[in-house]
């Protein structure tokens, strides 16, 4: 009798070949398929819900289900015409890296178990640290995404500035800060009275005078300001907060400066992005998501810090944590890096592999070229929109994002806002491109984020042709 859960060599080859063929087919045909398809709950239940199976099902049948009912029915964030939210264009080399990571299933929590994998992660972190301009004392950890990176940054800031939880502590964000930051603050026990959403200026950047006033008021009220969260490319508009001014303020006030660059910080690899983000190098911590503008599959975020020791101080396993099973590992802590002492997770996978493999395969210059496409396509979209006076540019192209609304002469604001919702629904049903809206200063606006490196100017123009047609129909209908 064979051991449980085994396939023969031939069965593994057959399944692997089928899976590989499906992925290659996806890469080859992605552009020809709709950008988004969503099942109703009833449709999903009828196609996919089953009781827990006791008997085996031929894996070929399951692959058919995946190919027919699962993978097509999604928002395809890796589609060249997916312009909603923040796209996640990938590359085949990184996909193979994910496959190899799962296949070898290396435990990457500490050096003793994963010395080579840990060194690769340290190397990748060094590349990102140097790109962001942090000093040699800096370090970091790879995590699941920006949400975990932001949460971990606040833990590090709290430990470094306050020594632990304090009900008088205050964190300052802007009204454009990503929702994951506020969610993370709730998880960490910060009440509403400890969170400030400071006003932004007319370019959606954190207002330094308003921030300074809020800090002064809180100190006068007996609160303890300890952290400012700045943005390096907001999700809404791509705005970059005045990083040098914020760093100056934080130095004067003794505050930790965290920069949420989950979306935008990767652009620092390019000369243009580096110039736009001057001052990033002065941050105490930085969030950067390779699964956004570094073209990696999902589940790859990064937290960088100016002093790597701050992470171990925040996440170390202490003697009274009853981690007796880590006794052998603990003997290696002083000379080696154990990533479980840099973040929340003990058990974690070899997250660095896909980014390391793709950067080594293509080289940084090719990634820079891909990032530059995002800048160019957003600017092309703005140029085309300005050719039709009925489109109002709300925020010009910045960091690969442009926002705009339908505003023909004589159309009231309420009706114009309703047109945006109807047009977005029509675009999603059409399937050619996915364009969705956001809220800016209390009003909806379309938001285009064309950062896929294979997106073309022709596709941008055709997208705007269709947007215009659907807006016209929504206005007259």
| Cβ partners under 8 Å of residue 164, min gap 6 | 158
Residue 476 has pLDDT above 80, yes or no: no
Render pLDDT for 115-142 as a digit per residue (tens, 0 to 9).
999 999 999 999 999 999 999 999 999 9
Q: 16: which DSSP letter?
A: H
CA distance 474 to 471: 5
Over residues 266-287, mean pLDDT: 99
pLDDT digits (tens, 9 = 90+) for 278-315: 999 999 999 999 999 999 999 999 999 999 999 999 99
- Work out whether strand 443-448 and strand 401-406 pair parallel, antiparallel, or are unpaired: antiparallel
Q: How much is the average pLDDT of 141-158? A: 99
Three-state SS string across 142-177, please?
EECCHHHHHHHHHHHHHHHHHCCCCCCEEEEEECCC
Residue 461 has pLDDT above 60, yes or no: yes
Instruction: Please report the DSSP string for 55-75 in residue order.
Output: S---HHHHHHHIIIIITTSSB
Average pLDDT over the chain reads 97
Model pTM?
0.97
Q: Is the Cβ–Cβ distance between 343 and 304 less than 8 Å?
A: no
Residue pair 206/249 in contact by the 8 Å Cβ criterion: no
Can you point out the beta strands (E) in 38-155? Answer: 139-143
């Amino acid at each position: 009798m064979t051991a449980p859960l085994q396939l023969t060599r031939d069965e593994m080859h057959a399944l692997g070949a089928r899976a590989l063929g499906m992925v290659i087919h996806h890469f080859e045909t992605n552009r020809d398929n709709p950008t988004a398809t969503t099942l109703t709950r009833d449709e999903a239940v009828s196609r996919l819900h089953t009781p827990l199976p006791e008997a085996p099902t031929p894996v070929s049948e399951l692959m058919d289900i995946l190919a027919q009912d699962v993978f097509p029915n999604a928002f395809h964030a890796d589609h060249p015409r997916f312009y909603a939210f923040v796209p996640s264009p990938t590359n085949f080399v990184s996909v193979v890296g994910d496959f190899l990571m799962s296949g070898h299933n290396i435990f990457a929590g500490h050096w003793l178990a994963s010395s080579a994998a840990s060194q690769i992660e340290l190397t990748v972190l060094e590349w990102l640290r140097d790109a962001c301009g942090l000093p040699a004392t800096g370090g970091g950890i790879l995590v699941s995404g920006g949400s975990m990176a932001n949460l971990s940054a606040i833990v590090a800031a709290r430990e470094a500035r306050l020594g632990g939880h304090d009900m008088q502590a205050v964190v300052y964000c802007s009204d454009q800060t990503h929702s994951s930051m506020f969610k993370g603050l709730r998880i960490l026990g910060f009440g509403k009275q400890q969170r400030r959403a400071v006003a932004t200026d007319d370019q959606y950047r954190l207002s330094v005078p308003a921030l300074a006033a809020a800090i002064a008021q809180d100190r006068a009220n007996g609160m303890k300001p300890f952290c400012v969260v700045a943005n390096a490319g907001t999700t809404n508009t791509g705005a970059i907060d005045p990083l040098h001014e914020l760093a100056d303020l934080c130095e004067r006030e003794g505050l930790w400066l965290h920069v949420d660059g989950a979306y935008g910080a990767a652009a620092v690899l390019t000369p243009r992005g580096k110039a736009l983000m001057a001052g990033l190098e002065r941050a105490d911590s930085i969030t950067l998501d390779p699964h956004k503008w570094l073209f990696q599959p999902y589940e790859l975020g990064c937290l960088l810090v100016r002093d790597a020791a701050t992470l171990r101080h925040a996440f170390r396993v202490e003697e009274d944590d009853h981690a007796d099973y880590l006794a052998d590992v603990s003997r290696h802590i002083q000379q080696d890096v154990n990533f479980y002492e840099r973040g929340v997770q003990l058990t974690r996978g070899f997250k660095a592999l896909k980014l390391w493999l793709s950067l080594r395969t293509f080289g940084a210059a090719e990634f820079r070229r891909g990032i530059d496409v995002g800048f160019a396509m957003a600017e092309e979209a703005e140029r085309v929109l300005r050719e039709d006076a009925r489109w109002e540019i709300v925020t010009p192209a910045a960091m690969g994002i442009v926002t705009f609304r339908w505003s023909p002469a004589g159309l009231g604001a309420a009706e114009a806002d309703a047109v945006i919702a109807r047009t977005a629904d029509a675009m999603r049903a059409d399937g050619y491109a996915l364009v969705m809206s956001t809220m800016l200063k209390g009003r909806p606006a379309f938001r285009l984020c064309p950062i896929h490196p294979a997106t073309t100017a022709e596709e941008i123009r055709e997208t705007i042709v269709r947007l215009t047609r659907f807006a016209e129909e929504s206005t007259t209908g």
